Chain A
Amino acid sequence: MSFDFGVIAGNWRFLLLQGLLGLGAFGGGTLALALPAIVLGFGVGILVALARLSRFQVLYYPASLYVQVIRGVPLVMVIFWFWFFIPIALGIALSQYGVALIAFVVFEAAYLGEIIRAGIQSVPRGQVEAGRATGLGYRAVMGDIVLPQALRNMLPSLVTQFIILVKDTSLASIVGYMDLTKAAQTVNQREIRPFELYLFIALVYWILTFGMSRLSRALERRLRPDQPVRALATDRIAGPARPPGGRET
């Protein structure tokens, strides 16, 4: 048994600049996939959640079927499925990046949608009724009253899912996308030091996800439930006064 961590010293630039950030001849990059997937997945997830809460059956049933099917299938299968399906359906072949991004958004939106749905349902019904009573429409009630409060309630599970998403992007390497994992595989083909290389990228992923969980903890503290919603409101209409009786639980 012999360790040679010199392999990290010699290749950290390739691993981090190319694999993590995508700054290199191969393009790619873990973050270049993770960040758009988080933003798009969250957007689609909101639509999925609204459809799952809708009284219109044409929205409810397809959305529910989509969520149930996706949650019963491994992500690798979803990636492979789109890999073969997109050329058949559209007649064009997308890049690894395109396929991976579509698969991630479709896969994560199902999970994010359920988190968002639970968050919306955690907002007391009286809030909606009060909003409607003051004459606001569906969009104003959802956008200005329900979603800001829901966001605060679902923040912990949301961040957990984002962390899972960042880890999941490693699967894009299976279809050849040049991310951190693929970069390590590429270096390993030349150096044959798998123990050191995979341990190193494990550490990089760990720093990434640990950083995210710390960030979310700080965010949660700022949005503590005992603070009124003003923490998220764009302007302080309500002022610093706390609502009488505090928060319903």
Chain B
Amino acid sequence: MTLLLALQYQFEWSVLWTAPYGRWLLQGIVTTLEISALAWLLAAALGGLFGAFRTMSGLGPRGLAAAYVEFFRNVPLLVWMFFWYFGVPQVLPATAQDWLNRHGGEFVAAVVALGVYHGARLAEVVRAGIQSVPPTQLEAALSTGLTVGQAYRRVLVPIAVRLIVPPLTNESLNLLKNSSLALTISVTEVTFMTRQIEAYTAKGFEAITAGTLIYLGLCLVVAAVMSRVERRLAIPGLVVRTEGAEH
């Protein structure tokens, strides 16, 4: 390990905007947003499906959802990254392996790992949201003559969605930050690019500080977008309790 003495270190912030390193950082941002967006869609689909399953009375769907949530949520995402990238292709047929090798298997693996992991966490968010709708709301809806389907569609879902948005914001930010683990399977996202810049320039401190600020900025943007969504959905006079669901 190199020993850098405190006052001998020469800061060289300009490496961040000299070619090609500035472009690498921009490319990293684009890739980070790409993986995060695709993984978010996968996670939302899985989370919505299994979250709804968990609130059902049937033992089959509920057990399936519980198994999915408990197993995928309780194992480090890093292990899942390695599992989906190194492990799963090992058991796939050779043609599928070839296809992955040619078409960026690391990108696919990162999206699947992130999506499945956060899907398990989102399922809990969705379950908590559905279960925090007071049962009296449904009873009131049914007593006004709505059918069960209508009561779900017009009463339960609209209230649950509003309960889900704040913890969903948390999870979306977590997903964005966790996309940094894709560096371990060499997806060229922000963290990977800052490590590359370090490898080429030995200016690790500057590169990592830039990466840190990029994530802070991206998180601020996502949080701002989500708070707009929250305000758009707000119903005047309806007080929504936002609690828990932060696992």
Contacts and interface: CB of A to CB of B under 8 A. Distances in A.
Interface centre among A75, A88, A184 (most CB of B within 10 A): A88
B204 interface: yes
A205 B76 contact: yes
A80 B192 CA distance: 11
Nearest to B219: A72
B2 A93 contact: yes
Interface stretch (A39-47, A135-143, A193-201, A237-245): A193-201
Contact of B204 (A76, A84, A188, A196): A84
Interface centre among A75, A77, A194 (most CB of B within 10 A): A77
B194 interface: yes
Interface in B50-105: 70-71, 74-80, 82-83, 86-88, 90-93
Given A93-B3, A193-B90, A80 B195 contact: yes
B79 A195 contact: no
Interface stretch (A56-64, A125-133, A166-174): A166-174
A48 B241 CA distance: 26
Interface centre among B79, B91, B178, B220 (most CB of A within 10 A): B79
Contacts of A160: 246-247
Contact of A168 (B76, B80, B180, B209): B76
B181 interface: yes
Contacts of A69: 216
Interface in A65-96: 69, 72-78, 80-81, 83-85, 87-93
A87 B1 CA distance: 10
B215 A83 contact: no
Contacts of B80: 202
A116 B181 CA distance: 28
Given A76-B181, A157-B246, A195-B83, A81 B76 contact: no
Interface in B1-53: 1-7, 9
A1 B87 CA distance: 11
A5 interface: no
Given A73-B215, A84-B205, A91-B6, A167 B87 contact: no
A167 B247 contact: no
A29 to B, nearest CB: 15
B208 A81 contact: yes
A81 B212 contact: yes
A91 B79 contact: no
22 contacts: A69-B216, A72-B177, A72-B216, A72-B219, A73-B215, A80-B204, A83-B204, A83-B208, A84-B198, A87-B3, A91-B3, A91-B4, A167-B74, A167-B75, A167-B76, A181-B78, A184-B82, A194-B82, A195-B83, A197-B87, A205-B74, A210-B70
